[in-house]
Amino acid sequence: MKKWFKIGEMAKLYQIGADALRYYEERGLLHPVRNEENNYRLYGVDDICTLNTIRDLRRLQLSTEQIAEALAVRTLASTIKLLGRQREMIKASIAELQRTLHSVEARLHEFSRAQDIKLAEIILKQLEARRCFINSEAYTATTDADMPL
């Protein structure tokens, strides 16, 4: 394995922009060394480990400030607390996705039923005898019919 990676190599390796790496450095999350000859940023094994942690924490939707806190205090207790918080966020996201899935499935069911309806076909149905209400008042619209009824 190479000992040092340039910013372009790291960006390609992690499939992120070089600007993201510069931003992480600006925010104090990454600390690449500088080549004295050309001032290029050089990333080592420690930076790779840190970038793996940053990537994982970003997947958990942590802010840059939260990631900085997590990297600054790397104790077992703080990691457990952080992961517990993230577990609750993930459970809430799963519940929201389940609700959305249920809604989509219900709509799919209704559309499937509607697809089976034959249009432009007249069906004669015989209904059993039932009571009827006759309204002798005049009305002009369907909404007007509600009032006398």
pLDDT at 109 over 70: yes
For the whole model, what pTM was predicted? 0.58
Q: Alpha-carbon distance 54 to 28, whole Å?
A: 12
Structure tokens at 35: 């080549």
Report whether pLDDT(118) > 70: yes
Q: Which tens digit of pLDDT belongs to each residue from 62-90?
A: 889 989 988 888 888 988 888 888 899 88
